[in-house]
Amino acid sequence: MQPSIFDLTAKTALVTGAGRGIGRACALALAQAGADVALVARTRPELESVAGEIAVLGRRAFVRPQDVTRVGELPGLMEDAAAHLGGIDILVNNAGMNIPQEALEVTPEAWDRVIDLNLRAAFFTAQAAGRLMVSQGRGGRIINLTSQTGTLGLVKRAAYCASKAALNLVTKVLALEWACHGILVNAVAPTFIETDFSRGFLSDPDFRAYALSKNLLKRFGTPEDVTGAVIYLASPAAALVTGHILFVDAGWTAH
């Protein structure tokens, strides 16, 4: 039998924001595809729970509570994960946040918090992973979780849209610079996904109607709806794909 082109056996992955939502779903999907997974987030109990699920799948998990906005600690994070798992082949750069505010109400503090995690920490996480991958000499995959809001303007999301649009372009720059090292860099840009992260604003009937207004499938996504795109970009199936923004957006960008 021919091996699956989506098989990740003998690969190692690191997922940020891995304790819940999209990050948790991606970590489990990577393990189901055969990878060992380093789990990174701020809350240890959530990570330990995901690690237990990965163990049931017969894969190894490395748990590392870490605030990725403390960017000076990121090289050490990568080195520790690599030492435990035998290197890092895949980064899923998922940690993020949103503070919905009308543009007239955005505070400098709120703006800085969103940009600090969604853009600054995401870049330096990718940089730390990229340096490790270059030193390993075996290529790699970096997958940044951005958003449809990196391309489309949405109300109450000035800082969030700015952070995701910038990360889309950072993705392209890294793809340009690191292709010579065999490191492929892409982004996955979801629509509204029902998670703890989105529950607050999706519970508002008016915003819920707005969020579905250009959704061609007329349903919100689940974290599992995002994992197929991540596994594809991490796998041999995407060996000729880099610098790409893959929308998982129920048709929003078809308009």
pLDDT tens across 139-194, in order? Answer: 999 999 999 999 999 888 999 999 999 999 999 999 999 999 999 999 999 999 88
Query: Of residues 124, 160, 197, 252, which has the active-site annotation?
Result: 160
Calpha distance 154→97 (Å, rounded) = 15
Provide the total of helices (H) and of strands (E) in the chain, helices listed first.
9, 7
Q: In the predicted model, what is the mean pLDDT of the chain?
A: 95
What is the value of pTM for the model shown? Answer: 0.96
pLDDT of residue 2: 57
Given this model, what pLDDT does residue 205 score?
86
Residue 252 resides in a domain: no
Residues 118, 127, 233: CA angle, nearest 5 degrees: 75
**Span 197-226, mean pLDDT?**
86
Residue 5, domain member (yes or no): no
The reply to whether 191 falls in a domain is yes
Report the CATH number at residue 73: 3.40.50.720
Lowest mean pLDDT among 39-43, 64-68, 200-204: 200-204
The answer to whether position 75 is within a domain reads yes
Closest among 116, 148, 114, 135 to 183, alpha carbons compared: 135
Position 6 in a domain? no
pLDDT value, residue 1:
52
Q: Catalytic site residue 160?
A: yes
Q: What is the pLDDT of residue 124?
A: 98
Q: Structural domain of residue 239, as residue ranges?
A: 12-243
Q: What is the pLDDT of residues 184-206, one digit of tens each?
A: 999 999 999 887 767 777 778 88
Whether residue 25 lies inside any domain: the answer is yes
Q: Residue 213 — very low, low, confident or very high, per pLDDT cuts 50/70/90?
A: confident
